[in-house]
Amino acid sequence: MVTQLGNILRAMKVRYPNLRIVYISSRIYAGYATSALNPEPYAYETAFAVKWTVQAQIDQMRSGKIDPRAGDLNSNGVAPWIAWGPYLWADGMNPRSDGLTWSRGDVEASDGTHPSQSGEQKVGALLLAFLKQEPTAKPWFLAAEAPPRRRAIRR
Q: Is residue 154 part of a domain?
A: no
Say what the alpha-carbon torsion angle 108, 113, 119, 125 is, to the nearest 10 degrees.
-150
pLDDT 10s digits, 101-114: 999 999 999 999 99
pLDDT in tens, 97-149: 999 999 999 999 999 999 999 999 999 999 999 999 999 999 999 998 766 77
Say how many domains are in the chain.
1
pLDDT of residue 130: 97
Instruction: Using alpha carbons, select from 110, 142, 49, 134 the residue that is nearest to residue 119.
Output: 110
pLDDT at residue 51 in the model: 97
Does a structural domain hold residue 153? no
Residue 43, domain extent: 2-134
143 in a structural domain = no
Model confidence at 153, in pLDDT bands (50, 70, 90)?
Answer: low
Q: Per the domain annotation, does 14 fall within a domain?
A: yes
